Chain A
Amino acid sequence: MNNKWVEFSTGFFTISGIVAMVILVFQATNFSQMIGSDVYKVTASFDNVSGLKERSAVSIGGVKIGRVSQINIDKESFEALVTIEIDNQYDQIPEDSSLAVYTAGLLGEKYIGMTIGGAPDVLKEGSHINLTQSSIVLEKLISQFLFSQSDKK
């Protein structure tokens, strides 16, 4: 076997394997979303966030501005405490903006939609948002409907 061919093809194989890995990282994964580490964290309390997951999107008017980084329970009020990371370029969001949990697709993925308020102060690192609307739980919706039906009679 020609020695030069052995070395050349082995080198080519190694390089192509590494290039394949790099292409996979850039084309097939959420790499571009991970490298944006210039975010600021804001917390919010919800009554009910059933269906919301970590890394769910946070958007204004359908445009993604950040994502959910943590979902915990507030130890005193037992409300759901959601920590969201907002991209640094959106640093002019008024302090009295409200959050609500909506459903995105047919498969029921939840996301947080933000409605802008009118306050002069803006959200900063560590701000807390109080105006929140919980996600819709199917059972409550049905019981509300049945209750309103029995009311009419």
Chain B
Amino acid sequence: MKWINSTGRFTIDFIAQQGNSVILCLMTILAFIKIPKRFGLFIKQVYAIGVLSISIIIVSGLFVGMVLSLQGYNTLVNFGAEESLGVVVALSLLRELSPVVGALLFAGRAGSSLTAEIGLMKATEQISAMEMMAIDPIEYILAPRLLAGIIAMPLLIALFSLVGIYGGALVGVDYLGVDSGAFWSQMQAQVDIQHDLMSGVIKSVVFGFVVTWIAIYQGYSCIPTSEGVSRATTHTVVFASLAVLGLDFVLTAAML
């Protein structure tokens, strides 16, 4: 009969966690107004979250674009439609691959580093020390990171898409022999700013918010031991990846 108890406890804990997470999110968003006072902190977070992720985003974008071009050509050439390769590469990247793959990489790199940093601050009692000095840790630590995540993601995704499309053009035009004029003109005719580009941007903003929120919540509410921090970091990557994929489906269905 004890398993009924533990199921109940698990459910209550789970729901309480969701509630805590939302409360933390709301308090962090309310603290956005105080960010201009500590603008240097915010810039430092944009650097830590955004700039340091550039290398992985660009390299991944390049390879994703090139593989897409290669695979797309292989299939399209069966229908004599290889001139539509530009459309295939651009649409897949802008609509789906850039936001989703970029968000997964972001969760793995920036999300885990955020969680580890905040968790370690909690474990070494820096957060309690701040509260003692009447500095609100949400204002000082969490809010800059959340806003930096929301702002850095669309920029990273734009870079991903750009490098991916040009990588796809490199493979398609220079290596596979698709006509350059057809590649770009078909892409420009069929890719719509609102349907395709904008939906990618909206997705990237939402994903940036969700991934950073999960990361800072996990860090802020982890068990303050080294095992707790490592578990929180794992949770961040797993939950953020699942959330990104689930939200991707919801957003795609809503925007299509």
Contacts and interface: CB of A to CB of B under 8 A. Distances in A.
B202 to A, nearest CB: 13
A9 B152 CA distance: 13
B51 A24 contact: no
A24 B90 CA distance: 10
A82 to B, nearest CB: 20
B85 interface: no
Contacts of B165: 24, 27-28
Given A28-B187, A29-B188, A34-B193, A7 B158 contact: no
Nearest to B189: A30
Contacts of A142: none
Contact of A6 (B43, B81, B155): B43
B94 A10 contact: no
B96 interface: no
Interface residues of B, number: 32
B191 to A, nearest CB: 5
A27 B193 CA distance: 11
A13 interface: yes
A32 interface: yes
Interface size class of A (residues with CB under 8 A): 20 to 34
Interface of A, secondary structure class, is helix
B188 A9 contact: no
A106 interface: yes
B192 to A, nearest CB: 6
Contacts of B187: 28
A28 B187 CA distance: 6
Contacts of B79: 106-107
A13 B191 contact: no
A24 B162 contact: yes
Given A14-B46, A30-B191, A107-B81, A23 B196 contact: no
29 contacts: A7-B43, A10-B47, A10-B51, A13-B46, A13-B50, A13-B51, A17-B154, A17-B158, A18-B158, A20-B158, A20-B159, A20-B161, A24-B197, A25-B193, A28-B165, A28-B187, A28-B188, A28-B197, A29-B191, A29-B192, A29-B193, A29-B197, A30-B189, A32-B188, A33-B189, A34-B193, A106-B79, A106-B80, A107-B81
